[in-house]
A and B are shown apart, each in its own frame.
Chain A
Amino acid sequence: KAGVTQTPRYLIKTRGQQVTLSCSPISGHRSVSWYQQTPGQGLQFLFEYFSETQRNKGNFPGRFSGRQFSNSRSEMNVSTLELGDSALYLCASSSSIRDTQYFGPGTRLTVL
């Protein structure tokens, strides 16, 4: 069974731009969560989607948004990028909420 895939793997943007990251969950998994990983803050939860609905949201500004499609694929969007948004963005999928999460390889975003 294929794992969680994330595209693109690497991205370089400039301040003020916006970016969209994509995540395809493991086949059959309906829950997708997003995390931001930085050396200073560690792993921080962004949001979780299940059946196209946002179920949980972390403590991030409204510039961070996401959505989930009917095939469970998910995208997250960051608008008006700031230098501090440079991070590894990880997507995790699970068969349902409360189930074990399986992570993708991440998208490395660099904001210049």
Chain B
Amino acid sequence: GDSVTQMEGPVTLSEEAFLTINCTYTATGYPSLFWYVQYPGEGLQLLLKATKADDKGSNKGFEATYRKETTSFHLEKGSVQVSDSAVYFCALSSSGGSYIPTFGRGTSLIVHP
């Protein structure tokens, strides 16, 4: 079945550091890929998405590129802020069969001033 694997957290960075959160997936067909962010005490917010190979999703300085050859969708940001501290979830939605999103376990990001 479909699965999403994210790097273990927490990821701890200083403000203005470069961020990478790794995400790899297993799916049949050509899934859509997503990054969601969850701030403390809140629900998930869609951060960005990509629907086909080589697409780059971007939002609020975050980027991720759909790499079919490596089945990856790594999240990056050039300069993190304290306000980026949150839990980040990678997810996929298969194009065939069950389209219910499959989520990774989440990666906690802590940014220090």
Contact = CB atoms under 8 A, between A and B. Distances in A.
Interface of A: 4, 6, 33, 42-43, 45, 48, 56, 58, 90, 92, 97-98, 100-106
Nearest to B89: A43
Given A98-B93, A100-B34, A105 B101 contact: no
B23 to A, nearest CB: 14
Nearest to B93: A98
Contacts of A4: 43
B42 A106 contact: yes
A42 B43 contact: no
Interface of B: 32, 34, 36, 42-46, 49, 89, 93, 98-101, 103-106
8 contacts: A6-B43, A33-B100, A42-B103, A42-B106, A43-B89, A98-B99, A100-B34, A102-B46
A81 B105 CA distance: 25
A105 B100 contact: no
A103 B45 contact: yes
A106 B98 contact: no
B37 to A, nearest CB: 10
A104 B43 contact: yes
